[in-house]
Chains A and B, each alone.
Chain A
Amino acid sequence: MCLLPGSSVKIRAFTLVEALASTLIIGVVMAALSVTLTVGENSKSISTAQVDLQANVRGVLDIVARDFRKTVTQEIVNSEPVPTTTYTKFRPVQRWNVTNANYELEANFTEYNYSAANTTLVRNILNSAGAVLSSRNFYNITAAPFYTVDTSDESVVPLTKDTLQASNGRVVIVIAGENQARQGRVLSYNLTEEVKVRNE
């Protein structure tokens, strides 16, 4: 208890017990808040990573599928190097040539090259001499993307010139992606689409 000079008001300080009790309570509250915020932040991080991953996989699949639809099966089959689960090269169809009764193809090639080591799918636009005109990388792709269908049992088989020829232009595109969230947690997501090459 303390008396100010000239004053009759008594001001009491906190006792030691009161100070300890309040510190304990604040500590518990802060700890609870910290745990809640950490869990929430982790949850947000995972959700965000999942959302980004799904959007990325969808976007890649859409681009690849659009490219394949626009070409002609023989263009993929006869390409050099030969088509595999990790490599394809083809030109989109421009129009029908009435005189020659065949397709007019665009001058530039679209090339897909997948590197498992880099987990990257590269989309190149090549000119007729093979020089890269533009390039776009799709990162964190974890599996080879190109397959086709065995029409005898409708099973998915690796893309080769023979299997694609036999399937009559049915390309199965598998985009498997992964993304890293907090605390080293790795998320994975994949989409598969069967694309019919529109020009026969």
Chain B
Amino acid sequence: MNNRGAVLVFGLVIILVLSVLASSFYFKSINENTLTKRYVESIRAFWLAEAGIARAIDLTPAFNITNATLLDNNANYTYTTRGAVETINATTNLYTINSTGSVSMPSGGTVTRRITAEVVEVTTKPDAGNFAYAIETTTSLDIRGAVTINPSDSKKEHSTLDFAALFGYTKSDMESHATHVYTPSTLGVVDGITWVNVPAGDTLTVAGTLAGSGILIISGNTHFSGTVDFNGIIYVIGTLTMTGTVTTNGSVLAESSTTVDTTIKGHVTLNWDEEEISTALDLLSTATSTIVSWKEN
């Protein structure tokens, strides 16, 4: 009997046993590695879903953009509004946001977390009641000539005008948020929020035609000698003189002495119009969103 091959067989058996042990440990480690990665990616997906909620709220009131995706290194989030917006009252709406955070794993498969949040959005804007007169001035109001004010008693002089209290913005904030910022020489389209800076000692003279709407703020002395047709709010930080053909629907305010004189050149009609005032103030509306309910699906 020849036993010389016994060592080889014995060696192979030992190697086999060690291999089984090593592979068992290896696969256990791989499995744990996968589980750990899945756990990490699950947390990542959760915060991506939270980011989707925050992003949707950040776009308030543009919730009508109902679906958006951000791709980021195998990860993305999507958010959607569900169904119709529920109106609580004229200024308050309830939105439902569904947000999904997804992370694609290199080994295949996707980890997702889903969150549903309900958001109450309250829209606020300055009170139209702050603008209670067709014309309001901080000093004397000198009315001469053919001036029509509707209603006839819709005027106030020696008033106290607080810009920030009226509009909810300081003058500098209003200027920085203006749709147009002009000087007398660059005066152009007047709509939205228009801010005109008049150099000290100078006067903005509108001798031609000015037609516009929204909120017109003139920082400096102003003289309307031409044809002015405006819907909304005119606020003059300086003296205001009207001698042309001026028609306003809304409210006119002047922080300094105001002279309304139609005896020389023109015809002035100042109509207090609450609807036009409200429409103009829509330009200053702000929406505050608050999450009122949150759940993970």
Contacts and interface: CB of A to CB of B under 8 A. Distances in A.
A189 interface: no
A70 B293 CA distance: 9
B118 A96 contact: yes
Given A58-B39, A62-B39, A94 B295 contact: yes
What is the predominant secondary structure among interface residues of chain A facing chain B?
A: helix
B28 interface: yes
A70 B46 CA distance: 13
A33 interface: yes
Contacts of A62: 39, 42
Given A51-B32, A62-B42, A98-B94, A92 B293 contact: no
B294 A69 contact: yes
A70 B42 contact: no
A198 interface: yes
B59 interface: no
Interface in B57-96: 86, 88, 94
Nearest to A94: B295
Interface string B254-292: 000000000000000000000000000000000000011
A182 interface: no
Interface stretch (B17-25, B184-192, B213-221, B232-240): B17-25
A44 to B, nearest CB: 5
Interface residues of A, number: 24
Contacts of B88: 98
Contacts of A33: 14
Nearest to A93: B293
A92 B115 CA distance: 13
Nearest to A33: B14
Counting chain A CB atoms within 10 Å of each CB, the highest count among B42, B86, B296 belongs to B296
A37 B21 CA distance: 9
Nearest to A51: B32
B120 interface: yes
Nearest to A59: B39
B21 A40 contact: yes
A189 B87 CA distance: 50
Interface in A7-44: 33, 37, 40-41, 44
Contacts of B164: none
Contacts of A44: 21, 24-25, 28
Interface string A84-115: 00000000111110100001000000000000
Counting chain A CB atoms within 10 Å of each CB, the highest count among B18, B35, B86, B295 belongs to B295
Interface string A30-74: 000100010011001001100100110010001000100110000
A70 B86 contact: no
A70 B88 CA distance: 24
Interface string B143-172: 000000000000000000000000000000
B293 A98 contact: no
A96 B120 contact: yes
Contacts of A40: 18, 21
Contacts of A47: 25, 28-29
Interface string B190-233: 00000000000000000000000000000000000000000000
Interface of B: 14, 17-18, 21, 24-25, 28-29, 32, 35, 39, 42, 86, 88, 94, 118, 120, 291-296
14 contacts: A40-B21, A51-B32, A54-B32, A66-B296, A93-B293, A94-B293, A95-B293, A96-B118, A96-B292, A96-B293, A98-B86, A198-B294, A198-B295, A199-B293
The 7 A-B pairs of least Cβ separation, nearest first, read A198-B294, A96-B293, A96-B292, A51-B32, A96-B118, A70-B295, A44-B25
